[in-house]
Amino acid sequence: MSLMSLTALELGRKIKAKEVTVEQAVLEAFEAIEESEEKLNSFVTLNKKAALKRAKEVQKAIEEGTLKGPLAGVPVAVKDNMCTKDLLTTCSSKILYNFLPTYTAQAVMNLEEAGAIVIGKTNMDEFAMGSTTETSAFGATKNPWNEAHVPGGSSGGSCAAVAAEECSFALGSDTGGSIRQPSSFCGVTGIKPTYGTVSRYGLIAYGSSLDQIGPVAKDVSDCAAILEVIASYDEKDSTSVKREDYDFTSALIDDVKGMKIGIPRDYFGEGLEEEVKEAVLKAAEELRKKGAIVEEFDLSLVEYAIPAYYVIACAEASSNLARFDGVKYGYRTKEYDGLHNMYKKSRSEGFGEEVKRRIMLGSFVLSSGYYDAYYIKALRTKALIKKAFDKAFASYDIILGPAAPTTAPKLGESLSDPIKMYLGDIYTIAVNLAGLPGISLPCGFDKKGLPIGLQLIGDCFQEKKMIQAAYTYEKTREGKHSPFSKQADTTLGQKGESRS
Amino acid sequence: MPNIISDETIEYVGILAKLELDEVQKEHAKKDIGEMLDYIDKLNELDTANVEPMSHVFPVNNVFREDVILNEDGSYDTLKNAPSEKNGGFEVPKTIG
C-alpha cells in the first residue's frame, strides 16, 4: 500500500509516530507521480530535488519537537497560479512559461511553515479560465476515474493528483467553482472558504473580488485541518478579513440534530442529470435520518448568476491581465515594431483563445457607453443574489445541492460551445458572487462509474456548520476516494468509526 | 434582439485589450462577443432600478499602514525574469522617435 493512499492526517500521524520518515513519504509521492503522470498530466512542474532537501529539514524539526502540526512532513501539490519562490509558476500559460517568482504566496508559506512539503505545481485551465483543464497551454489533464473524461476545472490538476494519489493533498483556487466542480468530477473533497479567509497574496489574480484559495483532499477532516493552516489575516491582502474563529477542526462532529438544511428547488430543474439528482437527494435523506431538518425552498435568481459572473469576472480579468505585456516577465514576441506593437504581439501570441475571449469581453463591458448597461447592471444583480442568500440563511443553516449538473464530460466535448460549458457552473458560481463558503464531497457514482459531488453551502464565516454537516454525511457513507486506493474501501466513511 | 458587433467596435476592443487580431480572428471575436452579450442581456429581465451596485460583499475600507520596508532589495531576482534588461532596468523598444 502506498503512503499516498492515506489521508493527510493519517500520514502526518505516522510520521509523528516515527513509523515512516518524511523522506519516505516524499519518495512515494514521486513514485506515484512517475507511474501516473504520462496518463494523467496532473502536474506542470515537479519539485523533487528541493522537496527531498526540505524533507530532511522537516524530519529534523519534527524530531527536535519544533514542528508539531498535523501536516508536518506531508506532501502537497500546489495549483500553478500560486507563486512559489524559485519554482516555476506558469498559470498553465505560454505567457508565463519561464516565470520564477521572487516570493511565495502567503497560503503556501503557511503550509511550508507547518512543515508540509511542496512536491510540484499542478495543471489548470489557463489563468483559471475554464471548467475542464483543457485550456492549459501544457495539455489537458485526464480524469483518474476514466481517462477519456475531463477532471473538471480549473483546479483539475490538483483534484486529479489527489484522486490518483500522487500527493497527500493539494491547494486549488475557486473563482466560480474551480475547486468544487473538479472535486466533484474527481471524487475528492474541496472547500471554497468565505471570501477573505485565505490570503490572496501571491495568487495570480483572475477575478479579484471572487478568487479564494482552498484545500483539496481525500476527506472532510483533511480539508478542515488544511484550512486551519492556510487561513490567516494578512496585511498584504487588502481584502483579507480578521476572523473570530480559525479552529475549523473543532467542527468535525458527527451530529446534525436540529440543523436546518434547505434544498433550493431551483437547483433541481432542467439540465440536471437524473443520476446526480438521485444521489444528491439521497445524501439529503441521510442527513435527515441523522436528525437534520431538511426542507425545500425557492432560492430564486439562479439563472442570473452565470451572466452576472461573466461580466464581473471578465471585467476584473481584463484589468488584472494587463500586467502581462512582455516587459517584466514571461514571454516576449520575437519581432516587433515599437513598444505598442510589442505589447500586442506578445499578448496575442502568449495568451490562449479562452483567455483572449474573456479579456476582450471584459474590456468591452468596461468601455465607455457599455459600462452602465453591463458592468453596473451585473453589480446590481450581484446585490440581489446576495440578498436572496441572506434571506435563505435567515431560515437555514446550510444549503444543500449538487456541485455540478452532470458528472465529468468526455475530453473535447466542452470547448466548442463556451456558453454550454459556462452553464456547468450554475450551482457553484453564485456562491462566489455572494462571498459564501462551499464544500464539495463525494456522494456516489453514476452508471459509468464516475463520481458525483454533493455541495453544501454555508453563510458567510459559517464554515464550521458546513464542515460539521459534511463530516456527518461522510460518516454515513461507505465509499472510496480513489480509483487506485487498495485500502480506501474499508476505511473511508465507515459507519460509526472515528477517524480523528 | 441579437447583438451585432461592428468592425469599429472590435477594432476598439482590440486597442483596449492590447490584442492584435487578424481578419479571421476578428470575425470570430465579433461572433463570440455578440453571443455572450445575447446571453448576458438576460440580466435585463431584472428590475434593478433601486438596487445599489455591490462591488464587495463585505464592507471594505481603505487599509492604511506605515510604509515600513520588510523585504530586502529584490531587484536582481526580479530582473532575472525580464525578457530583456539593461543597466539594472527593464529594457523596452524605443518609445520616442
| Annotated catalytic residue, options A5, A42, A178, A414 | A178
Please name the amino acid found at residue A387: K
What are the cell numbers at A247?
Answer: 479552529
Q: Binning pLDDT at 50, 70 and 90, where does residue A423 land?
A: confident
d(CA B6, CA B55): 30
Mean predicted lDDT score pLDDT of chain B: 92
Closest CA to A59 of A23, A27, A12: A23
Closest CA to A439 of A142, A129, A257, A221: A221
Which pLDDT score is estimated for A485?
A: 63
Q: Binning pLDDT at 50, 70 and 90, where does residue B74 land?
A: confident
A192 strand-pairing partners: A438
Element (H, E) at A415: none
d(CA B85, CA A225): 44
Q: Do B54 and A378 touch (CB under 8 A)?
A: no
| Annotated catalytic residue, options A92, A154, A318, A346 | A154
- Residue of chain B whose alpha carbon sits nearest to that of A345: B20
> Which among A330, A345, A363 has the least Cβ separation from residue B20?
A345
d(CA A265, CA A245): 32
DSSP secondary structure letter of residue A219: S
- Is A348 an active-site residue? no
| Longest Cα–Cα distance in chain A | 70
Preceding omega of A154 cis (within 30 degrees of 0): yes
Distance to chain B for A153, nearest Cα, Å: 21
- Exposure string of B41-58, with b = 16+ CB inside 10 Å and e = fewer, is bebeeeebeebeebeebe
Contacts with A, B 5-34, CB within 8 Å: 9, 12-14, 16-21, 29, 32-33
Which pLDDT score is estimated for A316?
A: 98
d(CA A354, CA B36): 13
Q: Which residue has the cell 452565470?
A: A306
Altogether, the residues listed in chain A come to a count of 500
Most B CBs within 10 Å, among A95, A363, A368, to test the B interface? A363
Closest CA to A184 of A397, A425, A452: A452
> Poorest-confidence range of A58-62, A294-298, A382-386, A410-414?
A410-414
What's the angle, vertex CA A398, arms to CA A393 and CA A399, rounded to 5? 85
A137, A171, A223 from A40: Cα distances, Å: 15, 18, 23
User: Is-contact A284 A373, C-beta < 8 A?
Assistant: no
Q: Hey, what domains does chain A have and what are their CATH numbers?
A: 3-302+382-491 (3.90.1300.10)
B40 part of contact set with chain A, CB < 8 Å:
yes
Q: List chain B residues with CB under 8 Å of A310.
A: 36, 39-40
Which pLDDT score is estimated for A463?
A: 98
User: Is-contact A412 A147, C-beta < 8 A?
Assistant: no
| Longest Cα–Cα distance in chain B | 58
Closest CA to A92 of A50, A133, A138: A138
User: Does residue A492 have a pLDDT over 60?
Assistant: no
Which pLDDT score is estimated for A354?
A: 94
Which pLDDT score is estimated for A487?
A: 43
Q: Which residue has the cell 454550454?
A: A420
What are the cell numbers at A57?
Answer: 529539514
pLDDT digits (tens, 9 = 90+) for A458-477: 999 999 999 999 999 999 98
d(CA A186, CA A444): 11
Q: Do B57 and A325 touch (CB under 8 A)?
A: no
What are the cell numbers at A207?
Answer: 477575478
3 state DSSP class of A231: strand
User: Does residue A104 have a pLDDT over 70?
Assistant: yes
What are the cell numbers at A279?
Answer: 444521489
DSSP secondary structure letter of residue A207: S
Please name the amino acid found at residue A18: K
DSSP string covering A424-487, please? TTTTTHHHHHTT--EEEEEEEE-TTS-EEEEEEEE-TT-HHHHHHHHHHHHHT----S-SS-SS
d(CA A497, CA A484): 22
Q: Which residue has the cell 453564485?
A: A430
Q: Do A383 and B51 touch (CB under 8 A)?
A: yes
Strand runs labelled E in chain B? 85-86, 89-90
What ipTM describes this predicted complex?
0.95
Q: Do B42 and A326 touch (CB under 8 A)?
A: no
pLDDT digits (tens, 9 = 90+) for A224-238: 999 999 999 999 999
- Is A79 an active-site residue? yes
Contacts with A, B 68-97, CB within 8 Å: 71, 74, 77-78, 80-84, 90, 92-95
Q: Binning pLDDT at 50, 70 and 90, where does residue A479 land?
A: low
A196 torsion bin: left (phi>0), alpha (psi -120 to 50), beta (else): left
User: Is-contact A277 A268, C-beta < 8 A?
Assistant: yes
The model's pTM is: 0.95
- Is A154 an active-site residue? yes
> Which among B54, B77, B95 has the least Cβ separation from residue A382?
B54
Which pLDDT score is estimated for A188?
A: 97
What percent of chain A lies above the pLDDT cut of 90?
92
